[in-house]
């Protein structure tokens, strides 16, 4: 088989597949599943163009990583051919553990198991299937490989993952404020004492990158309608889990039924390999198919929520500077009980309160380091004379409460 394929990407144009190993990984069912997982969950209910998938993102990130590694080599940074390929594999598989709707259901279908941990387990399984060819990729992914800058390219505050998703999400949503100069940033990357650094003349590109990230969080990732729809989806799955675990008959695919009926922990995944295998068969289509069937279920709470989401009759949402008080929450619950004739426990499926956090840059975590012309390395906040960067290192918190539109509060 000819494995020297070219992929036509709408963001970067033609992307070449670097090696036969990478072709085999892309061709694997675990990776092909990413075609059926939306990058931005339910954001398409706000921005109709946001239909791109984790598959798109992984391929794009691999392309940017290839450009980055080639650029570092031109600057005299030693990267062996094996390290080159292994780092491409690490970024290609960094999101392989995402479940349906990406982040939206991460704490609902599974409890206390992050997608990064699932990714690690999946890469380890692929490594076994491929006779140990991913050993170095796994080490880079985990941060145990001696060359730390390779891990920083995969996961840090200026990693290739972020460069792709900002550019890609901006493109597909049409939110131009998220546009970044990824190519310029890549050209400005360098390595000093095994740490990833940005050359001083690239500091304005970093300001733009951080600014774009903050704007994309408010306008896309934490858009109030996205938050509202995701809370509805979470309520649907929580109700479906409750009914399934109570022994009520509920339609679902085999993969979805396993995670509705059980609350698994990491130990279960380790001791029973078939659980991970089943999880890697789960995608957005399992959920949408079930929601369409559940919209006619006899349980009025489940069917009402499903019909509302299918018809885009989303919860009303208010964003405030202060959290909802106990009195406001009690009033919300009381009005829902009165309007829908449900119990206090049932009413909790129809409202949600919580906190939204936007941190463009955390100065205490994997800092973005600037390399000055005098060969000095400093945190971007210290190196910049730009007030915007200093402001973006502060965490912004807002609070939300959402409830059905047909209930007046």
Low-confidence ranges of the chain (pLDDT < 70): 1, 365, 385-387
Q: How many CB atoms lie within 10 A of CB 62?
A: 26
Query: Which tens digit of pLDDT belongs to each residue from 274-326?
Result: 999 999 999 999 999 999 999 999 999 999 999 999 999 999 999 999 999 99
Residues 356/319, Cβ–Cβ less than 8 Å:
yes
Of residues 162, 307, 136, the one with CA closest to residue 221: 162
Question: In the CATH hierarchy, which top-level class contains the domain 6-222+360-393?
Answer: mainly alpha
Q: How far apart are CA 387 and CA 381, in angstroms?
A: 9
Fold of 224-314: Growth Hormone; Chain: A; (1.20.1250)
Name 366's Cβ contacts closer than 8 Å, sequence gap at least 6: 152, 155, 156, 157
pTM assigned to the model: 0.94
Helix (H, G, I), strand (E, B) or coil at 76: coil
Q: How far apart are CA 134 and CA 126, in angstroms?
A: 8
Each domain of the chain, given as residue ranges in start order, spans: 6-222+360-393, 224-314
**Equal CATH topology for 6-222+360-393 and 224-314:** no
Angle between helix 54-74 and 160-173 (nearest 10): 130
Helix (H, G, I), strand (E, B) or coil at 225: helix
Q: How many CB atoms lie within 10 A of CB 324?
A: 18
Q: How many CB atoms lie within 10 A of CB 217?
A: 18
Residues 315/402, Cβ–Cβ less than 8 Å:
yes
Cα within 13 Å of Cα(1), Cβ side = 8
Residues 274/261, Cβ–Cβ less than 8 Å:
no
Q: How far apart are CA 103 and CA 105, in angstroms?
A: 6
Using alpha carbons, list the distances in angstroms from residue 207 to 33, 154, 204, 390, 394: 35, 20, 5, 10, 14
Q: Are strands 369-371 and 195-199 parallel, antiparallel or unpaired?
A: parallel
Residue positions counted in the chain: 409
Using alpha carbons, list the distances in angstroms from residue 143 to 97, 136, 147: 17, 10, 9
DSSP E strands in 286-395: the ranges are 316-320, 352-358, 369-371, 377-379
Residues 193/375, Cβ–Cβ less than 8 Å:
no
């Amino acid at each position: 088989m000819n494995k020297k394929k070219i992929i036509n990407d709408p963001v970067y144009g033609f992307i070449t597949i670097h090696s036969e190993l990478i072709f085999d990984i892309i061709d694997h069912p675990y990776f092909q599943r990413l075609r059926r997982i939306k990058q931005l969950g339910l954001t398409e209910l706000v921005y109709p163009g946001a239909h791109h998938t984790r598959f798109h993102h992984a391929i794009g990130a691999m392309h940017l990583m290839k450009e980055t590694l080639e650029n570092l080599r031109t600057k005299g940074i030693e990267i062996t051919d094996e390290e080159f390929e292994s780092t491409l594999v690490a970024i290609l598989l960094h999101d392989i553990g995402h479940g349906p709707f990406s982040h939206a259901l991460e704490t609902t279908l599974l409890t206390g198991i992050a997608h990064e941990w699932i990714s690690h387990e999946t890469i380890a399984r692929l490594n076994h299937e491929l006779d140990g060819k991913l050993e170095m990729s796994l080490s880079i992914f985990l941060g145990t490989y001696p060359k730390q800058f390779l891990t920083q390219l995969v996961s840090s505050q200026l990693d290739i993952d972020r460069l792709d998703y900002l550019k890609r999400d901006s493109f597909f949503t049409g939110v131009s404020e998220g546009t970044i100069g990824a190519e310029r940033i890549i050209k400005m990357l360098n390595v000093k004492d095994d740490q990833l650094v940005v050359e001083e003349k690239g500091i304005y590109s970093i300001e733009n990158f951080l600014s774009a990230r903050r704007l994309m969080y408010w306008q896309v990732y934490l858009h109030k309608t996205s938050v509202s729809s995701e809370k509805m989806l979470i309520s649907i799955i929580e109700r479906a889990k409750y009914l399934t675990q109570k022994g009520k008959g509920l339609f679902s695919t085999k993969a979805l039924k396993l995670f509705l009926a059980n609350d698994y922990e990491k130990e279960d995944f380790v001791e029973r390999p078939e659980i991970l295998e089943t999880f890697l068969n789960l995608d957005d289509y399992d959920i949408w198919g079930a929601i369409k069937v559940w919209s006619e279920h006899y349980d009025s709470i489940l069917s009402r929520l499903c019909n509302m989401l299918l018809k885009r009759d989303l919860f009303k949402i208010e964003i405030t500077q202060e959290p909802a008080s106990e009195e406001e929450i009690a009033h919300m619950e009381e009005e829902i009980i009165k309007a829908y004739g449900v119990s206090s426990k049932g009413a909790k499926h129809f409202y949600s309160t919580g906190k939204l956090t936007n941190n463009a840059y955390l100065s205490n975590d994997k800092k973005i380091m600037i390399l000055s012309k005098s060969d000095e390395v400093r945190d971007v906040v210290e190196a910049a004379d730009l007030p915007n960067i200093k402001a973006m290192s502060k965490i912004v918190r807002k609070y939300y409460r959402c409830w059905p539109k047909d209930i007046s509060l």
